[in-house]
Chains A and B, each alone.
Chain A
């Protein structure tokens, strides 16, 4: 059974830093595409970042240059380092496994989120 458990959320001041963790069981983090998705209170889902099994990373424009996604293969853990936090970063942050489409489009292959954690809440206060 796949389980993803996020931790590291909390109350932080504007401009501060926080590192989120996502401990995985039932899957090998380094062999999978893994992603972070966030949801502001009462709002919709927002894609944040993804790390491919190759180590290639991508970010939403809203967090590029401030957030860094990484992983620790020895601990099967995914991380999200968040710097220069803003009030608008306040959200529930979900960790998700990105399953790969069986269909190719040229050299590209899409993904979808088939396993999710329960989320960790980040509150950025001024």
Chain B
């Protein structure tokens, strides 16, 4: 199972919106709406920010939103803040009942 494809880096100024893409195949993202997104600050464990493509866990800012079209899922962060600077990973359930993470995207707040 190959890793899902994400851009290596995305940047934006405070207050702007950015979108991170996550491209898979018909064996994962294309078949199921079981995409989740994780935020990871340096030296910390990952934190869930979106599950089931667009559901936001309790306590996560509504500036985080998710969507999906075909084999590609997306995470949008609106009103970018300094604290959003981190690595972001997508994850999908697969047709083999296994899981696969994305390659990861470093978000920089300019």
Contacts and interface: CB of A to CB of B under 8 A. Distances in A.
A44 B101 contact: yes
Contacts of B40: 45
A117 B103 CA distance: 21
A46 B48 contact: no
Interface of B: 1, 3, 31-34, 36, 38, 40, 45-48, 51-52, 57, 87, 89, 91, 93, 96-104
Interface stretch (A13-21, A66-74, A80-88, A101-109): A101-109
Contacts, number: 78
A103 B51 CA distance: 11
Given A59-B98, A101-B52, A111-B34, A44 B45 contact: no
A47 B57 contact: no
A61 interface: yes
21 contacts: A37-B46, A44-B3, A44-B87, A45-B38, A45-B40, A45-B104, A46-B101, A47-B100, A47-B101, A50-B99, A101-B51, A103-B52, A108-B97, A110-B93, A112-B34, A112-B51, A112-B91, A113-B46, A113-B48, A114-B57, A116-B47
